[in-house]
Amino acid sequence: MSETDGTWHAMSQQDDSAQSTKRCKRCGEVKPHSAFSKRIQNEDGLAKRCRTCVIQYTKPKRTSYVSDDPTQKRCSKCREIKSLTAFSKDKSAKDGVKRRCKACEHNYYVSNAEAIGERIRKYREANLETIRERKKRYYDAHAETLCAKKREYRAANAEVLKEKKQAYYVAHRNAHRESRRAYYAANSEAIRARVRAYRIANPEIIRERKRAWEKANPDTGRIKCHRRRVRLKGNGGDFTRKELIAMRMAQNGVCAYCRHEHEPRALTLDHVIPIAQGGRHEAANIVLACPVCNYEKGNRTPEQWANRWYYDD
């Protein structure tokens, strides 16, 4: 017990001759017990301050949060009267907004970020299933609205989303590939069925896409075509795009057969020993020839083509 409390207690013992009276600690007046609130934790079971002093002490704090103007409200933290737009929404409140303004809410969260984050993490860990069920119910009830908002956002931020997607793919390329491989392995039949159904339903779109891709990637298209033929024949071998670029630089636009100069990209792949005759699809069996020579040579070897009048008979 402090010295002040001891002094006040002694005065109360001397002045309170009757058991039905008590001295108020704040105003010092002797008042009946009915003027004090009950406090079970105290020795006499009554509060130390009378009700009048308690009301006068707490009155400044009980200033109404509602302003005379229905479009304004007093913040419970900074005590300033502000427009309702300066307060966050709260459905449980009578006026539909929170007691503290947005600025005070922001300051509170900034100064207590770690404690709030820890409290949120603990709640989520303890109520994981409840949160999932709540989110599912909300999504089911507002599916159309949420989808419409997503479409609007994607349309308005297409370039930003594209850049984010590309940056994420570059940073997580290996994990992305592994994930796609695992998904394809687990759903290969369903994916094939879906692709077949799409191709049957959209043949014109598939053709247009193929033509556009072949026009934009002529070298890669030719290599893929040759690889397919080799795979069907079972001749073996492999010829990459890097080897094709190196061969273009080496021949410098000169046809391997007629020795005339052409545009480097105008030269086409030709197998010295044709695939039809068992030739392998590899750099040692490939040269670049102009379209005329490649067409005339056909599926013959250079010797057969040079003596074609003998073989044509």
Q: How is the chain split into domains, by residue range?
A: 3-60, 63-113, 217-312
CATH architecture of the domain with residue range 63-113? 2-Layer Sandwich (3.30)
Is this structure's pTM higher than 0.75?
no
* CATH number 3.10.450 given to 217-312: no
pLDDT value of residue 167: 92
**Residue 287: what residue type?**
V
pLDDT value of residue 67: 57
pLDDT value of residue 294: 87
Q: How far apart, in whole angstroms, are the C-alpha atoms of residue 100 and residue 85?
A: 12
CATH topology of domain 3-60: Wheat Germ Agglutinin (Isolectin 2); domain 1 (3.30.60)
| Residue ranges in the chain whose pLDDT is less than 70 | 1-19, 58-68, 226-229, 231-233, 307-313
Residues 6+ apart with CB under 8 A from 172: none
pLDDT value of residue 310: 45
Work out the angle between the directed axes of helices 113-126 and 102-111 (0-180°, nearest 10): 80
Q: How far apart, in whole angstroms, are the C-alpha atoms of residue 275 and residue 41?
A: 102
pLDDT value of residue 65: 54
Q: Do domains 63-113 and 217-312 have the same CATH topology?
A: no
pLDDT value of residue 1: 47
Q: How far apart, in whole angstroms, are the C-alpha atoms of residue 67 and residue 40?
A: 38
pLDDT value of residue 171: 92
Q: How far apart, in whole angstroms, are the C-alpha atoms of residue 133 and residue 140?
A: 11
Q: How far apart, in whole angstroms, are the C-alpha atoms of residue 226 and residue 234?
A: 12
pLDDT value of residue 168: 92
pLDDT value of residue 17: 44
Residues 6+ apart with CB under 8 A from 226: 239, 269, 271, 275, 281
Q: How far apart, in whole angstroms, are the C-alpha atoms of residue 270 and residue 141?
A: 63
Q: How far apart, in whole angstroms, are the C-alpha atoms of residue 250 and residue 9?
A: 109
